Amino acid sequence: MSDLIRRLAAGVRLGYSLPQPFYCDDGVFEADMARVIGRKWLVAGHVDRVRNKGDYFLYPIGSESIIIVRSDASTINAFYNVCRHRGSLVCTKPEGQAARLTCAYHAWSYGLDGALLAARLMPGDFVREEHGLHRCHVRVFHGFIFINLAADEPEDFDAAFADLAPHLDFHGFADAKIAHRESYPTEANWKLIVENFVECYHCVPSHPEFCSMHPPDALVAFGAGPSSGPDDAVERYRPTLEAWERRAASLGRPLGSIDDGPGSSHLRLLLQRTIRAGYESETPDGRPASRLMGKRRDFDQGRMYLSFSPFTQVVATNDFAVLFLFTPLGPTRTGVDLYWLVDGRAAEVDVERMIWGWDRTTRQDKEITENNQRGILSTRYAPGRYSDQERRVVTFQQWYLAQYGCAPA
């Protein structure tokens, strides 16, 4: 752990927001990339972006650019976007289709498996086999493409995520297709993006569309996860939740929840609950925007919130799901990308009604987190006390500091 993080962590108070440097300091961001971000399994996208041989897209994170490319029907590779000649970017377009990957600078060319195919006029002792693209750890799991930037062997993937398989299988993510994709680049530190997403204290004043689709008791009790709200709100909502669980189970939905604590590797979360009474989907009027996803037999008026890690969230209603990618790019820059997924057999999708809720909510989140970042840069910023509806933020803060071996006072 760097001296900088050790010194700053000594000033953290449990139940309060973090000291200013955690949200804007170059050194803290560098440490985060090395000790937190670079060691986790992160979702870079969905397989629908690379359905055919030669399809590729770039995943930027921090100062890195990762090429995600399909080399054959069963293989998706991930490479660092760095030519082995003099370090130029190999791929410069954010996505495309290629038979081989060729650097425009000096025309070094690589196969879809990363092997160097051509390098003109090199000395006789040059060994082509030693100059393939640098590989990035990659794993495809129920349609989600995970990468890991670790220089050595990463954490065991199955140990981290295998227990999520029944839920992902039920929702049909492996065979889903992307119905819409949108980017919301946000001028704020990645921790502010996460902290905003894991609390619903701001939902009523900031998100009228989101609130219109959900029971008020559920928003207070579980607005951002199993442990995000006060205990009394949980008890008020419990009878409604238990009645819904009985109906959902009768329709084949696998139930259960996950609420990982600060000592966990990825701080996963799984919550399943009702949406607004009479609604079948998270749309303006509650009517479906597409066909049922996956193995569903009927609409059960519920939704799933799944967090693979603080960097990757999935919200699934009965007929579509939204994949959220929060990608750290700099001390005060974060990529926020949303993928709307539908059943792979869907012939018609009402995209406008499908994206209505989360598009507006994410634009609102962009504004409030950017305002939060601007305020934190003030000389008068001081860590503020969290409410009873921000309990998951405290858990996230504890988890974050635990990555450095620290604990708040």
Look up the pTM and report it.
0.95
* Residue tagged 């001296």 (tokens): 3
The H or E element that residue 394 is part of is: helix 391-402
pLDDT digits (tens, 9 = 90+) for 17-49: 999 999 999 999 999 999 999 999 999 999 999
Return d(Cα 215, Cα 194) in angstroms, integer.
23
The CATH class of the 175-402 domain is: alpha beta
pLDDT digits (tens, 9 = 90+) for 162-210: 999 999 999 999 999 999 999 999 999 999 999 999 998 899 999 999 9
3-class DSSP assignment, residue 365 = helix
Closest CA to 229 of 199, 202, 192: 199
pLDDT above 70: residue 255: yes
3-class DSSP assignment, residue 383 = coil
Contacts of 40 (CB under 8 A, 6+ apart): 148, 155, 265, 266, 309, 311
Longest dimension (CA), the chain: 77
**What pLDDT is recorded for position 235?**
85
Q: Quick one: residue 244, left, alpha or beta (phi over 0 = left, psi -120 to 50 = alpha)? A: alpha
The CATH class of the 42-148 domain is: mainly beta
pLDDT digits (tens, 9 = 90+) for 124-135: 999 999 999 999
Q: How far apart are the first and last CA of the chain?
A: 18
Neighbours of 409 (CB within 10 A): 9
Exposure b/e, 42-77, CB count within 10 A at least 16 = b: bbbbbbbbbeeebbbbbbebbebbbbbbbbeeeebb
